Structure 1
Amino acid sequence: MPPWIIRLESPDDWGGFRLAARHLLAHRVPAHAVRWITDQGTATADGNNDLFTAAAGDDAAIAPHEVELRLLEAGSCRATDTPPIALSRLAMQTCAQASLHADPDRFELLYRWLTRVSAGTVDAGDPLDGDWIRIARAARAVQREIHKMRAFVRFKPLTRAQLLPPLYIAWFEPAHHVVRANADFFVRRFTGMHWAILTPQLGLRWNGETLEEVSDCRPDQLPAADAGEALWLTYYQSTFNPARLKPQAMLREMPRRYWKNLPEARLIPQLEASARQTTDEMLRVKPGLGARADQS
């Protein structure tokens, strides 16, 4: 077992990772001597727990703010001949986003790359470095998931007593640890609403003034469908254009794993079938229409 076990507060604790990594790098602690775990068990969209969750027997783990003191107590000395790493803003942002990926090796990957940059064996701007390619790929996946969460959250109103405004509740299953990263967006976007976004990871609740986190979130906490949802489905169906149906492009923008939590998704098979039927009827009336459309 590595001699240094760092316990982060949560699977998206980028700040804790940065603090611990800064001290570890200053003392030239190699990547193979560090293990990263988290206090908060976080379920991903497939229902599996994050492999960084602290397990029994990890009593030797230390918090990021304890790292410097423990290193000094162990007799380690700061390296005075190596300046601190100076990363560009883009590189720092990429690392921060990669730390939100569901890959259980993400913190190990990030720290290994940082040790190599610190040692001068790789340039921080080298786009062909294997570790950096993985980091950049992870950051892009997180960026996509942040966007998908913003696009695919669907609120349902819960009527409350005592003259309280409705509470709009949504259920979303992110593939990566993007809930907190999206909190400011939803506060700005729905400032005047009282809302809650529940996920297998954690929940966010906004009362119009303050944002709080909630735990033990389940999809059965959602209200039943109401007239507003029926109206949305009617609108979605009425604006569906069969002439622009492109199933593969639609799946790229709206992967099937999101469908179960999208009310409009249950209309898609019916609308696809109707679109094909409409197209076939048009081609029977004007046989050359399909060829001209392909050429345009």
Structure 2
Amino acid sequence: MYKLFNSSWRDDAVQLDRQRGVYTAPELVRPINHVGRFFSVPGPHIVHPSPQRTPLLLQAGTSRAGKQFAAQHAEAVFVSAHAPAVVARNIAEIRQTARDAFGRDPAAIKVLALVTPVLGATEEEARAKLAEYRRYASHEGALALFGGWTGIDLDRYGDDEELRQVESNAVRSTVEGYARFAPTNSKWTKHTVAEHVSIGGNGPVLVGTPAQVADGLEAWVREADVDGFNFAYVLFPQSFKDIIDLLLPELRRRGLFWDDYAVPGGTYRENFYGVAGQKYPPAEHVAAKYRWAAGVPASEHQIPG
């Protein structure tokens, strides 16, 4: 992929010279003849590169392979877990591997956590919304999802059994993570887990006023070391309208939400890093060595294998 985006067309290959009638200088485009496991591209890359060359690389998942891939390639990582501590461990591992194994700046890898906010002008209103949403949720489907994510079958436990008191360490620790933002006196049975998973999936559900939800977001930033959030919705588009109308003013009041792009008119990557001119991946990223920069003869830029 990096060869196609970066090595086939030199940065200045596109001339756009109307007076000479030259769109592209052919000597600045070279064949790659890429042959890969999943696809092949004979000759050069068939279109000129975008302003970013390599698209901003976002990766999802924190499996062992996923974390290794993220450490080498990702510029942003989507994560999901109910406990900030779980996310914090995964993020720390990704960033350490990025630094130690691939020479990358670990702070340059941004992490976005899955969160489902349920907002109301009052806490009572928000909880009433959540109760209404749960009326339409499937507990059976939620427990099937839980089993697929965790490998834990909760059918073996009784309807009223408190899962934070069972013998299984895996069950106890998993459910403790789910209960992180729940009232301290709440009881967590398999039906509680099903209710929790049915709305919000494998991420936390933050319920309350804009101030309460913002407090929850700040706790995740502080405890999990995340850089931002991937907001999920319960209703479309109402959930996003609530975020816009209720949550964003509170985040702006706290200085936690931007008012404009860092680089107006810039590329996604320039605004992602907040650096004008940062159209390409950073110099320490693996993609950088594939770039055929302007002014460099083809003979002086060897395409990595």
* TM-score, structure 1 normalization: 0.25
Please state which structure has a larger fraction of its residues in helix: 1
Q: TM-score, normalised by structure 2?
A: 0.25
> Which is bigger in relative contact order (C-alpha 8 A, separation at least 6)?
2
